[in-house]
Amino acid sequence: MKLTRRNILKYSSLSAMGALMSGFSGNLLAQWPAASFDSKAFDEAFSLVSAGAEVKEGHITIDAPQIADNGASVPIVISTDLPEAESISIFVEKNPRPFISTIYLNDKLESSVSLRVKMRETSDLIALVKSPSGQFMARQTVKVTAGGCA
């Protein structure tokens, strides 16, 4: 291989990208809640995400359809009036794997998330919000006419 300026730039940038990606992915994997996602029981998944701490009700609004025609794509909006909300975690109680996601918030983001979830059958949709003032939850039942999970 001929040592040219082009090759030096190409290989040094590839090396730098590799170093950055390896450090970046390590941080992501360190925070991955594998046990929560692998849990097949709602109570276990909820306990893992809430770290067994006391959970109060209130301060959360769930906007979801009362009846979902297609469980493969149920639109939901979860919002909170807590000023310093740190994260919003979402669960579908009767799904094969009830823990759906945790969305981390900061002071530059609105304390509201909008997404679509899969629901196997009629079930409670549960939101858990963590904040400096404690953990809060809310639940809403969504009737599913055609399931979306296998």
Q: If you ran DSSP here, which 8-state letter would residue 150 be given?
A: -
**According to the model, what pLDDT value does residue 147 have?**
66
**According to the model, what pLDDT value does residue 37 have?**
75
- Token digits for 17? 């990208």
How many Å apart are CA 83 and CA 90, to the nearest integer? 19
- Token digits for 53? 């701490």
pLDDT digits (tens, 9 = 90+) for 13-40: 777 776 666 655 555 554 666 777 778 8
Phi, psi of 52 (to 5 degrees): 70, 10
Res 146 pLDDT > 70: yes
* Amino acid, single-letter form, for residue 23: G
How many Å apart are CA 75 and CA 73, to the nearest integer? 6
Phi, psi of 29 (to 5 degrees): -70, -30
How many Å apart are CA 67 and CA 88, to the nearest integer? 23
